[in-house]
Structure 1
Amino acid sequence: MLAGGAGTSAASPGTGPTAVVSMGDSYISGEAGRWKGNSLTNSGSRIGTDRGWVSGSTYDPGKVYGATAGGCHRSDSAEVRSAGPIADVAVNLACSGAVSDNVFRAANGGVSFKGEAPQADQLAAVAASHNVKVIALSIGGNDLGFADIIKDCALDFVIWNSYCYDDQQYGVDQKIDAVMGKVGKSVDEIRVVMRAAGYADSSYRIVLQSYPSPIPRGAENRYTQSDWSRLNTGGCPFWNRDSDWARDSLVPQIAGRIKQVAAAKGVQFLDLRDMMQGREVCAKASKQVTTAVPASARTSEWARWIDNNETQGLIQESMHPNYFGQLAAGRCLALVVAQPATSGFSCKNTAGADQTGMFLTPAS
């Protein structure tokens, strides 16, 4: 499996090793793949949650992210790497922090990012040396300012004692039309590259996916909002009202708009809004990892908590699907690729099961 880049030998559509390619941002690059759940233990392996642990107090994120540690954060458990044998080769071009402009070809407004060429230009090399069958795309979240929304909502809980949802909703509404235009252009750019490489549109599929919610609804949070346990213990410093907005308004709004783009562009839609239901950070149905409750996809949280002091790892890993969440996303991709490319689906988990319990329902 390839973590990124492409071989040098030439291939044409229908020849060479088959490939599944991921493009876009941190939610598909593998950000937070270092972590198998969340633990309050800061030493050693953090009770088995830290896959970057070497020995003693030595840690090497490169064990998970390879040469992209501290940069694109392409993990060994990223969605495209966890999807199983849907192609001979998995190529991960996605990069943590990427916006749509980092996907476009340089010749059409694309911008290099973290020392790499725009992703569509990288795709051209992959398309030439492999027989690309699937391209999974996750993009738009950074254009909308996901990281800033999370930061502002957390600060409203910790410092300002106020809600964030109203101001943040206004900001999203002001941006979302332009952002979805860029998501659509990202699909167009992929099509242009593939056609130039000799691929018919029907010879491969593009899977355009939405985003999962990393936090639960207020009523599903196992910590009260009336003290500091959400900040100091759970790593989910958000008010119930803001949590409900994020889970039931923001995430569905984005999913609905991405679904519209997928329909307009004739690509497959994969809805991940409910992928981590009950497995979110601080969810009542999940548990932190302790000596009594070991790391497990069946019981642990599937998203990385907010570690604002970077006591464990980097702040950029916060609020992303972790190792377990990425295994689940990979299973979702495998399931949707097995379905007709003309149909959209939602991917959900089975309570108490690991990634093998993921299942599809028609996208609503």
Structure 2
Amino acid sequence: MPAASPAAGTQRAAAGRAAALPWTSYAVSLGDSFISGEGGRWQGNISLREDETTDMYGTDRAARGCHHDGTRCTKNDPTQVHVESYRNPVTGKVNGCHRSDASEIESARFRHTKNFACSGATTENVRLNGTDFKGEDPQLNQLREFLNDHKVKLVQLSIGGNDLQFSKIIKDCATNFMAPKVTKPCQATWNRKLPGLLDGLAERVDRVIGDIQTVLRSRHQSGAQIAVQTYPSPLPPGNGYRYPEKYRDRYLIGGCPFYNADSAWARDALFDPLADRLKSVAANREVHFLDLRETFAHREVCAQGPRQAHQGESLHHTLPAEEAEWVRFRGTGLYYSQGQTEEAFHPNYYGQRALGNCLERFHKKVADSDRPQEWALREHPRKGLHTHAAQGRTRPDVTDQHAS
């Protein structure tokens, strides 16, 4: 009888481990800052200089030991939100993976969760045997190791934004607004660059999803659900701002230094084409697709309707979610500074809670499905965190399903 190959022995060992794992199963997240929890320190916005002795009218969840009115705090400790992922272990700087305690996967109320996502990650940092990032192995190498003694029921993926240089686009557009005498809206510059960046994105995301499927099969857990999601727009439509298109109003007060034209352009030329490519890849790979583009409708930074926190509110008496912006504003600037530049235009605490609610409802819809489905979840205007409507369909059928 021929000797068994090492590969066959490894497969049998993996199968044995999978059969012996406890019944509890995990929901895990992979990807970048929009799912890692960047911005989760803040619950709402307020245009004040950061003061470690106050809780910033209840917006700063890192404040500790504060009096009931939000003053005389004993310390300001962002590690209470981001724990060990606050600092980059390679550089020692405070630009780590920023996995927050309110991240989408943690807010979804799954019994067991694991967040592998990392702020700033590209597809190459997620891929199996890809590139290390911020002192960590590629995320799928971490997942493969995790699967040795854990079962997984859901792998949720948010990726592609950093491949398209989201942060540079945001920076350029904001810089142009803040120097109106020498610059114009940024769309002209990026209209020349975006087609090339978008061209190869579908292929890179496809490789990531293929690697996820390979890792799950290698640990005999191919029954786990895989879902790829889009990005919620952090900015309102061009005609949806509550502040005039002026430096003082949009930048110094609102923390949203963008031209109307650039906001409209970002939706049409950036978020929509990216979503189209992610949707196409999900269909080709036969995995679920969650469209979050309009999840923050009427809750974007500087949108008409919500407001900033005001005096009298504190961590003991917070700005209500249904009145707040769900996106972190630009909290660093010439006249005041709060937190870190990386946090800007990411879902804040309320936004992450809302995304978690979306994910929880989405998973309930697809958990028992043996066919990939497409879903779009949208926030009902001017209502709170748990008022999302879901619309979806099973591929390749066109039967609609609705949840109120």
What's the TM-score once normalised by structure 1's chain length?
0.92
Q: Which residue of the partner structure matches residue 285 of structure 2?
A: 265
Paired residue type of 1:181: E
User: Which residue among 28, 46, 51 is the counterpart of 1:21?
Assistant: 28
Equivalent residues in 2 for 1:204-243, closer than 5 Å: 204-243=224-263
Q: Which residue of the partner structure matches residue 7 of structure 1?
A: none
Q: Determine if the alignment matches structure 1 residue 53 to structure 2 residue 63.
A: yes
Q: Which residue of the partner structure matches residue 5 of structure 1?
A: none
- In structure 1, how many angstroms separate the alpha carbons of the residues matched to 2:303 and 2:215? 42
Q: Determine if the alignment matches structure 1 residue 324 to structure 2 residue 350.
A: yes
- In structure 2, how many angstroms separate the alpha carbons of the residues matched to 1:285 and 1:183? 36
- In structure 1, how many angstroms separate the alpha carbons of the residues matched to 2:350 and 2:146? 28
- Provide the secondary structure at the position in 2 that maps to 1:120: helix
- Provide the secondary structure at the position in 1 that maps to 2:373: coil
Equivalent residues in 2 for 1:165-176, closer than 5 Å: 165-176=187-198
Q: Which residue of the partner structure matches residue 350 of structure 1?
A: 380
User: Which residue among 39, 44, 66 is the counterpart of 2:46?
Assistant: 39
After superposition, the C-alpha distances for 1:36-88 in whole angstroms (9 at most, x for unaligned) are 01012333100000001124373111010001113000000000001013xx3
- Provide the secondary structure at the position in 1 that maps to 2:197: helix
Offset at residue 135 of structure 1 (A): 0.3
- In structure 2, how many angstroms separate the alpha carbons of the residues matched to 1:230 and 1:312? 17
User: Which residue among 46, 63, 74 is the counterpart of 2:80?
Assistant: 63
- Provide the secondary structure at the position in 2 that maps to 1:344: strand
Q: Which residue of the partner structure matches residue 204 of structure 2?
A: 182
Identity of aligned residues (%): 38
Offset at residue 228 of structure 1 (A): 2.4
Paired residue type of 2:57: I
Offset at residue 11 of structure 1 (A): 4.5
Q: Determine if the alignment matches structure 1 residue 311 to structure 2 residue 337.
A: yes
Structure 2: gaps (5+ residues): 1-15, 66-72, 87-93, 399-404
Q: Which residue of the partner structure matches residue 90 of structure 2?
A: none
Q: Does the CA-based 8 Å contact 1:93-1:122 persist in structure 2?
A: yes
Structure 1: gaps (5+ residues): 1-9
- In structure 1, how many angstroms separate the alpha carbons of the residues matched to 2:390 and 2:45? 27
Offset at residue 13 of structure 1 (A): 5.8
- Structure 1's 67 and 161: CA in aligned 2 closer, same or farther, altered over 3 A? same
After superposition, the C-alpha distances for 1:265-320 in whole angstroms (9 at most, x for unaligned) are 11100011001011000001111111267422101000000123371111000010
Q: Which residue of the partner structure matches residue 4 of structure 1?
A: none
Aligned residues: 348
Instruction: Please identify, of 349-358 and 149-158, the stretch whose mean Cα deviation from structure 2 is larger.
Output: 349-358
Q: Which residue of the partner structure matches residue 18 of structure 2?
A: 12
User: Which residue among 94, 100, 103 is the counterpart of 2:117?
Assistant: 94
CA RMSD in angstroms comes to 1.8
Paired residue type of 2:209: V
Q: Determine if the alignment matches structure 1 residue 76 to structure 2 residue 93.
A: no
Q: Which residue of the partner structure matches residue 89 of structure 2?
A: none
- In structure 1, how many angstroms separate the alpha carbons of the residues matched to 2:255 and 2:183? 17
